[in-house]
């Protein structure tokens, strides 16, 4: 069985006390998911690589770049700041292989993501060169949106093609939708609002994990 990984998304955390926020949940986190938005690929802007440097944790940092055509030096900034994995978007890059190869050359895990309306066909040529695929389960850009269940056939199909690949889902994940995505074949679960939006975050995490048993 593939390892189930939980990746709390700090998009919904209080960034002014990020290390305190992470400390509260890090015992239960396999990855810390960091959403980077550029105001171009998606309307909002969020954190940059300087912010990544201020994060103090032993949990690997899973950097999700919602960024139009990220350059090598831009990507390198995140690698130098401590990224463990970097996800780029198929829709954001003219030739995603360029970014994927650069990330891998720099000894960092590379992943590719597709938005809910992008078909799996668009990334078939990359699934043998990446360490993870992120199937977005909401439109990228905002937290607290509703899980789009019609993305699940892509997870199912990808799992059939790649039995051992890490398949990540991101957006609207809670105990109920995590189970749906798990049954479709996902094994990496990003969750923002359903963890950081709760008063008892450890209880919220346990609820998600329990739903995946």
Active site residues: 35, 170
Selection from Zn ion, ligand DX5, none that 145 binds (CB < 5 to 8 A by kind) is ligand DX5
Position 141 contacts ligand DX5 (CB under 6 A): yes
Burial class (CB in 10 A: 0-12, 13-18, 19+), 145: middle
Task: Give the count of residues interacting with Zn ion (CB under 5 A).
Answer: 3
Q: Does 35 bind ligand DX5 (CB under 6 A)?
A: yes
Find which of ligand DX5, Zn ion, none residue 193 binds, CB within 5 to 8 Å per kind: ligand DX5
Question: Which of the ranges 76-84, 85-93, 100-108, 139-147 carries the binding residues for ligand DX5, by CB under 6 A?
Answer: 139-147
145 binds ligand DX5 (CB under 6 A): yes
Contact flag: residue 62 with Zn ion (CB under 5 A):
no
Q: Please, where are the H alpha helices in the chain?
A: 18-25, 49-54, 72-80, 96-105, 152-161, 175-184, 193-196, 201-211
In whole angstroms, give the CA distance from residue 91 to residue 122: 9
Site string for ligand DX5, 39-78 (x = CB under 6 A): -------------------------x--------------
Which of these, 7, 10, 9, 52, lies nearest to 30 by C-alpha position? 7
Closest CA to 192 of 48, 72, 69, 46: 46
Beta-ladder partners of 35? 64
Beta carbon nearer to ligand DX5, 141 or 161:
141
173 binds, among Zn ion, ligand DX5, none (CB under 5 to 8 A by kind): ligand DX5
Task: With beta carbons less than 8 A apart as the criterion, state whether 93 and 72 touch.
Answer: no
- Got the DSSP string for 124-163? GGGTTT-SEEEEESS-TT-SSPPP-GGGHHHHHHHHHH-T
Give me the 164-193 binding string for ligand DX5, x by CB under 6 A, dash otherwise: ------xxxx----------------xxxx
Interaction pattern, residues 165-194, with Zn ion; x per rule: CB under 5 A:
-----x------------------------
Q: Does residue 38 bind Zn ion (CB under 5 A)?
A: no
The torsion angles phi and psi of 125, rounded to 5 degrees, stand at -70, -10
Q: Which residues bind ligand DX5 (CB under 6 A)?
A: 9, 11-12, 33, 35, 64, 138, 140-145, 170-173, 190-194
């Amino acid at each position: 069985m593939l390892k189930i990984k939980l990746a709390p998304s700090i998009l919904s955390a209080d960034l002014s006390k990020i290390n305190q926020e992470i400390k509260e949940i890090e015992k239960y986190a396999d990855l810390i998911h960091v959403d980077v938005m550029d105001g171009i690929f998606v309307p909002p802007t969020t954190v940059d690589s300087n912010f990544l440097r201020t994060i103090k944790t032993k949990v690997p940092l899973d950097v999700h770049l919602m960024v139009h055509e990220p350059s090598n030096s831009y990507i390198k900034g995140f690698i130098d700041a401590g990224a463990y994995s970097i996800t780029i978007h198929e829709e954001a890059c003219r030739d995603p292989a360029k970014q994927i190869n650069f990330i891998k050359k720099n000894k960092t895990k590379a992943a590719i993501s597709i938005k809910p309306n992008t078909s799996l066909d668009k990334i078939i040529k990359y699934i043998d060169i990446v360490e993870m695929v992120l199937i977005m389960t909401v439109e990228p850009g905002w937290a607290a949106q509703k899980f789009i269940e019609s993305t699940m056939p892509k997870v199912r199909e990808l799992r059939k093609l790649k039995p051992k690949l890490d398949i990540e889902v991101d957006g609207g994940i809670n105990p109920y939708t995590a189970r749906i995505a798990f049954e479709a074949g996902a094994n990496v679960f990003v969750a923002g609002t359903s963890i950081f939006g709760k008063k008892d975050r450890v209880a919220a995490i346990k609820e998600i994990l329990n739903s995946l048993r």
